[in-house]
Structure 1
Amino acid sequence: MRKILSLVLVLTLVLGSFSFAFAAQDDVSGHENEAAIRRLMELGLVEGDSRGIRPDDTITRAEFATMVVRVLGKEDIAKFTTGATNFADVPAGHWASGYINVASTIGLVNGYGDGNFGPEDEITYEQALTIVVRALGYNQEAVEKGGYPVGYLVVADDLDLDIKAEGTAGVPTTRATVFQMLDNALTVDMMVQDGFGEDKTYKVEEGKTLLGELGYDKLTARVVDINTSDLEITLEDEGDFEVPEGFEFEKAYGLELTVWVDGDEVVVCEINDEPMFDAVTGAEDEITLVSADEDYAVVEDATLILDGEEVKAENFNADYAKVVLNDEDEVIWAQGFTFDDTFVVEEVEDGIIYSYNSDELDSEDYVIVKDGTEIVAEDIEEGDILFYNKDEGYIVVYNESENGEITRVYDNAVKFEGEVYDYALTNYDMKYLDGTTLGKADKNVLDAMMDEDENVTVYFDFAGDIVLVEGDQGESDTTSFYAVVESTTSPYPDRGTTKYTFDILNEEGDVVKYDLTETFADEYDGDGTNGVTTWTTDIVTGAVVEVTVDEDGDITEVALVGSSTTLSGEDLEIDATYAEGYRLQDDAVVFWDEDNDDAVADWTVMTWLEAEDEFSKVLDGGAEIYPGSNGRVAVMVVTDTDVDSDTTDYTGLVTNVRELNTGDTWEVTIEVNGEEYEYLTDGTLKASGITGISDMDDLEDKVVTVTVGNESEEISAAVIETGTTPALVTDIDTADDEITVSGSVYELVENAVIYDATDNYAELSLRDLEVNDKVSVYFVNNDTTRFVEYVIRTDLAPTTGGGNDTTVIETNYVIDSTSTFKVDLADGLTESDYIIVFAEKDGTVAATISTFTDATSISVPSGLTTNTEYTIKVMKVSDGTVEASVDVLYQ
C-alpha cells in the first residue's frame, strides 16, 4: 500500500485543516516556487486551506521533522513511541513527541545540545537542508566534508537540493523553500549502509528514492505516442499511462523520460533527453541539420515522422524538425514538418490570430509550439513569425532575426550583410513589412528598401533563409499585381497617336481600363519579351498577366504568367497544398468564373485561403494552374467547382444494397475513402444498363463511381470501375505508401483504402498486406497508372516452403523459365524411387521430371503456362505417395 496517506495526514497537522482544493484563494500562481508546489499538490503532499498555501510563511522544527518522518514511511513507529522524549522542552503530551523521538533516534535531528529541541522555533535554512540530507542517507558524507552546517550545505549543493531553494544560514526559511527542497529530493538516489561494524560502508543505491519509499514505481522509457484529449502518453515497451492536467505533451513527445507511476498514472517525471531543433535534409542512413551544418547517422530502428507519416531517412526533408540522439550521438527519433506558409502576427483576439494582411488562423485548429514547448494563442505576441502546416494543424513560433543593410537585389535573391539569400528556394514567399503593410517582397520592394532604409530587420526560417524583411521602402517606384485581360481592341488613332485599349480584372476584383501606346505594344512584338511574341495575338481576353505600374498608376510592364497546366486526374480539395505538382499557398490569386460562361468582368477574385468560403473543391478539369517563377502556384483560373454542378461523382466500394418496401427504390451504401454514405436510387439506375449488372444486388462488393444529386442525394448513374487483374504483391513500402504488384510500383494516395475480399471486405492497413498476396488496384479517377485510390486483396499469400520435416523443396514462390529449384530428400531415400510433378490446382499434371539429382539445382521444365499457380510434388513412383510439396507461381 502506498504510504502517501500518512504524509497527507501529517500535512493536516502542519498546514492546518484543508479542503480538497483551494478553498479561498490561489496564492501559488506566479510564485517562483510554483512548479514545485504544484507538483507536491499533484502528489497529494500539499493542499491549501481557507488561507491558501501561505508559501511565504515560516514552518516550525516540529512540523518539518514530522513531515520528513512521515515521508520516510515511519509513521507507525512514531505512533508507537509517542510519550516521553530526551528533550526537556518536548513533554510526553506534545503532539509531535513520537515523531521527534523517531527523528532523533534515526539521526535526522540532534537538538540544540543543551537538552532542548525547540519544537516551536522557526526552522532555519541550514537546519532544513541538514534534515533532508540526513533523510536521503548522506549524513556520513556530510560529516566527512565538514559536518554541520558547512558539510551539509556542500552535500545539498552536490545533490541539487538547493536549486530554486536558496536561503541564508541562521535565518528562518519559508514553506515555499521547504517545499522546493522536498521536491528536489523526491527523485534523488538515496545512500544506504552496506555491511556492519568495522565493515560498514555507504553506497548510493540507484533507483531507491523518496518517491519509491512512498510506493511509486520508477520507469525509464521513450514517449512513442501522445493522446492529449485522453491525457495519456505511451511509453515504449511499457504501455499507456495517464498524466495530470498541464502535462507538456509536445515537450515530452519522442523523449526518454524517467517517470514514477502509481499503477497506470504518472505522478512525477523527469526528461532525460535534450532535443535539437533545425531544418533537416535526409540521405541514406543519415540526416543533416541544415543550420547547424552537422550530419548524424540514423540508427536502424529509428522513428522518423514527417508530416504525420513514418518515413525513411532519405525521405526525411523537413522545414522544421525535433531531433533526438542516443548516447552515441545517433538519431533515434525525430519528428518533422513541412510548412505551407509563414504568418506575421498583428494581434490575437478570442483565439483568432490575425495577420497584417487580414489573414487569420483559428488557434483551435492548431497545436502551437515555441522553443519545443506547447503554448496557447494568448502567448503569441504582435510581430511573431508563425510557420504553419494546415493539414497537420501545427504552428511553430520562430523569431530569429538580424538587423543590417541590403546591398544588392537580384531577380530571385538579395544580398544582406554580405551574404546572398535565394528566396526562390523556400516553400513560401519572402514577405515584407513596411509599418503595418504586409506583402510579397519582390525585387521592386527590395530595391526600394535598399535605397531608402540602411538598417532593415530580416527574419529567418530554420534553414537560415529569409522569410520576412521589415523596413521602410519609402514611396515605391513600381507595384506589380496579377490580372486577367478583360478586353482589348485593335490599334486606334487618338490625337495623332496610335493606341490600344487594355482593360483588365485586377486582384481586387475591379476592372481597370488603360490606354497603351502602339510604341509600348510594339516593344513586345517579335522577340518574346515577357512571354509575349505578338501583342495582338497574345494579349487577348482571358490571358493571365502580371502588370507593373509606377507611382502614378501608369503601366510600365506587362508579362504573360507562363504556361498553364490543366487540373487533371482528380478533384482539388480546398485544403490541398499542391496543384499539378506546384506548391499551393494561401495567397495564390484565384479568378473564379462561377458559371463557366461569364464575361471576365463578372468573375469573382479571391485568394486560395478565401476560396474555402466559396467552395470545398475544384472539380477535375475545372481549373488552369499558372505557376510563378519560384515553382509555386501564382494564379488559378477556376471554372468548375462542387457548387457549380447539380451532381457530384463519388468513387467507392458498395457494401450493401437494400430494396425499400415502397418498391423500385433501393438504398445503396457506399464507402468512399473509408467514410460510409447512403444514397437512394430508383429503377432508372437498373434500367440504364450498367455493364455486368443484371440485378441491383450485383453492385455489392464492387468499386463503383456513382453520380449523386447535390440536393436530392439520389444516384442518377453508376459505372463499375475495372481494377487491374489480380496479381501478386512483390514488395511493400509503408514509409512511402507504395506497393509493387507484378513489377509495377503504385503509390497510395492520402485517402486510399485497402479492402480484404477474403474477409467480408474488412478494411486493412498497408502493413496488413503481405508479399505474395494477390490484389487488384483501382486508380484515381481511372486516369493514371501510378496513383491508387483503392486496393482489393483477392487472395492471401499461399503457404510456401518445403514439404515435411525431412524432405524439403527449396524454391522461390515466383518462378519462371530461367529458375531452378532443389529437392533435398530425407536420409535413406533414393532419387530413382521418385519423380517430380508440376500439377495445376485442379490436379492436372502439366509437366514431369523423371530423373533428378538429390540436393542439386534442377531447371524448371518447359510447357508451363504463365501467370499460373502450380504445386510441385515429390511423388513416389511405386504408389503415388507425395513425399513433399510446395506451391509456386509461374510467370
Structure 2
Amino acid sequence: MREQSYKRLNNSQPNRIRGGETKVMRKLLNAFLVFALVLTMVTPAFAASTTEDLGDYAYAVNRLSALKVLTGNGDGTFKVDSTITRAEFAAMAVRLLGLEAVAKASAGATPFKDGVADWASGYVNVAVQQGIVTGYADGRFGEKDPVTQAQALAMLVRALGYDPAVAKEGWPTNYIVKAIELGLTDGVDNVSAYAPAKRGDVFKFADNALFVDKYVQTGTFNGQPTYAVAVGKTLLTDNLKVAKKTGIVVGSKAVNFSDKELLDGQVAIDVLKADGTVDSTVVFNANDTDAATLLGHKVSFFANDDDLVIVEDGSNTVVTVPASDIDTVNTTTYAFKYDLDGIAKTLDITGAELVFNGQKDTLNSVSKVEPDSGNVVLVDNDADKVYDFVFTTDYDTFLVQKVWVEDKQIDTTSGTSLDLSDENYTVVIKKDGKEIGLSDLNKYDVIEVQVGADATNTLYTINVLDSTVDGKIEEVVTSSKVVIGGTTYSVAADETTGLTFDNSVLGKEGTFYLDNDGKIFEFVAKAVENNADNYAYVKDTKDTSDTFAGTKGLQYKLWLTDGTTKVFDVASKVVYTDSVTTATYTLKDDFVVLNSVKDKMVKYELNAEGQVDSLEVLNPDAAATALIYDKDASKLGGYVVNSNTVVYFYDNDAVDPYTGDTGVFTGADLKDAESYTTVAYGVSSTKYAEVVFISDASFATPSSDAQLIVVDKVTSVLNADGDTVNKVYGFVDGKAVTVLAENGVVVSAARGDVIEVTYNSKGEIDSVPVVNYDASAKTGTKVDAKSDTTIVVGGFAYNLADTVYVYNYNTTDDVVTATTYASIKSEEQTLTNYSKVYVHTNTKGLVDLIVIDNE
C-alpha cells in the first residue's frame, strides 16, 4: 500500500499538500528580491559552441557562427584577441557572399605566384573572381600574412559592391573613409590602417556588413556603368537568403498558445507588421536557437524560409517576483500586487496567458499566481504596461527515502509518496542541468518538484539539488535560526525535520538538508547513520500490529557491534536479502518472512525515522568450530581476525546467553594460543572475517596502568549510546587530549587539578579519578630548578627522569599551558616562590611531571 500518494491535481490545478495558510518564504532567485529589467536587444538566443570568454565580441561571433560565416578553430575557440590571416579572411568574405559551395568547387591553382594552401585555394579564387582581393603589387597573395584593418575593410567594401564609389587615390584612407561612412567600424575603437587587425574586430566589421544595403549596377550611361544603393538588399537577405523579421514567440511543442500543431523542435511565432499588429502566425524549425525558451517574448529573428537561423530577444519588460514578495492577486480586476523593498507595486495582467510549472494553463485562480514557493515572471512584450504572459513556478522540496523504479514511485522522508506511474504523466528529472532517469536518484537526494497540467498531460519537473550541511547545532539564535559550523542558517517554514528549534536541539549532529533558498528543511541525525558496517544480531522480534486499526507493526531487538542492545521499528517496506533472493517486502503482505529473523546475524539500514528499511540475513561461513588464535599472525584458525574484526562473545552456560557474561570486542582482545568455538560472517576471498561469534572465551586484560591527566576543564556530553557522561579536556605527556568517562563515572575535577585514571576497553575512564593534586589548595613553595638532573621543591631534592613534562596553571588568567623544564630552569632566581608545585615520581622515584600553580 502506498501511503500519502502525491496527487496535486484538481481541475488541472495542483493542490497544496502543506497545511495552514502560512506562505513559504522561498526565493527561487537567491540573489534578488525583485528583478525588473527592460530588455533591448540582449544576448541572442543562440551561442557559439566555445568555452572562450568572447567579451564584447560575443554578439558578432554568435551571429556569424549561426550563419556559418565563422567556423572557429579546431580547438573550439575563436581567438578573438589574435590576428587573422589573409587566407582566413578571404574564406570568411566568401561565406558572407553565400558562395561556400562555389569555393569548394573552385579549389586548385590560384593566379598568385606564391601559391595558396589547398584548403584556402577555392576561397581565394572566388574572392579574386568577385573582385574582393587583388593581391600585392609583386604578384603575391601572402596567405599567412596578418590582415590589417585597412585590408579587411577594403575587402568588405568590395564585397558590398562599393568599390566604384571609393576614391581612386589615397590608399588606404579612401577605403577606410567609405567603411566608416557605411558603418562597418561601428563598435570598434581606434581604427588603425596598418596595424594587424584583431580577429574580434574583424568579426565586428563583418557583422556590421550584414545589414548594409548593397551598391549594385543599375545600367549604363554614355557607355559607363551606373550604380545605386539597393535599399533592403543586403548580404544577409540577398546572399545568405536570410530574412530578418520581428515577432512574438507563442508556442512550442511543450507549451503552445497558437492554433498551429507543433512537432518536436518547432515553434510558432506571431510575425508582426511594421505597425506592431500581427501579420500571421508562422511555424518555424527552431534548429540550434533557443527560441522555445523565449515564449511570450518579442524577438528579432532571422529565418531561411521556415528555418530559424538566429533569434534575438527584443524589447520586453520582464519582472520576476519571488513568492514571498507577492501581496495579493485579483483575477477579477487582474491587479497583481507585490512588494519591492517596502514599496507596494501593482501590475496589470488583464488578458495574460499563463504558464504554470511549464504547462499551458488558464488564469482563473488566485493560487495559480500566488505560489507558496518559487516565483512569478511577468512579461510585457508590447510596452503598453499590460503584462501579456505570466509564468508561475511553484515547487515543493523533498528528501528521497526510497526509489521504486519499476513502480515509478519516489518515497520521501516526510511520508509523501510521488506516484509517477500514470501514463498521462510526463516526468523530467534533471541534475546539474542534465536529464537523468529515475534509477539515477539516490537515497537522501534533495529534490525540488514542480507539477503542471494541461488538458491532456501532467508534467512533473524534478530538479536534484546539491544542498547539504554536515555538522552539529552549536547555537540557537532564534526559533528559526541556528548556527552550524560557525554559519547561521534559517529554518524553512515548511521544514519536516521533526526537531523543535529551541535549546533541546543543541548538539544535534548529522546532515542538514537545505532547500533552494539555503534554508533547513530536513535533517538526518548522525545516530541514524548505520552502525559499524551495519552488522547486528537479532536477539528478538516483537509483533506490534494494531488489530483494531488493521495495521501491521514489527520491532527488532538488535545486539549492535558497539555492544549495546537497541529496539528498532521495521519500516512498512523493506528491501530483504537472503541467500536465495533479494526482494521488496511489505509488513502488510510479507509479515511472516520479516518476523522470522530471530537469532540471525544481519546487516541492516535505517531510514530517516530510525526504522529498519533494509535487511540482509547472513549465512555463517561454516558451522561452529574450535579454532586457535595466533596473535602474531592475527589469525583465528584459517580466518584473518584483527583489531578491525567485530567479536561477539556469548556464554553458552548462561540461562540467557545474551544477558550473561557477554560482550562485543575486537580481534585485538583475543588471547594468544587460546581456543575459541567460532562462527565467522562476512568472510572475504582473503579469509578476512568482518564479524565472528565465539564462546568458551578468554580475553586479554586491557592495561589497567593508571594515567595522570592535568585537567583543563570537564564538561557533560552525550555519548554514542545517548547517555550523559563527563568529557575531560586536559594534557597527557605534554599533549592536549580529550577523553570520555564511562556512563556512571563522575569526574569531579577543576582546572589545574591532576587526576589519576584508568580506562576500559573502549578507552573510557572506568573508575572514579583519584585527585593527586588539588589546584585550589594554595601554599607558598620554593623551587630550585637550576640543575639539569635535580630539582629542589620546598627543601626536598628530587632526581629528574630523562623526560619531564611541565605545566603552568595561571590562576589569574585561569589557563593551563604545557611548557618545558628548560623554561623554569632558565629563570634567573635560584629560588622562586610559587603558590604551589606538584611533582610526580615514576616507579623508579624519578620526577616525570611537574605542575606549577602560578599566580
TM range (shorter): 0.3 to 0.5
| TM-score, length-scaled by structure 1 | 0.35
Q: Relative contact order (C-alpha < 8 Å, sep 6+): which is higher?
A: 2
| TM-score, length-scaled by structure 2 | 0.36
Q: Which of these two proteins has the greater Rg computed from alpha carbons?
A: 2
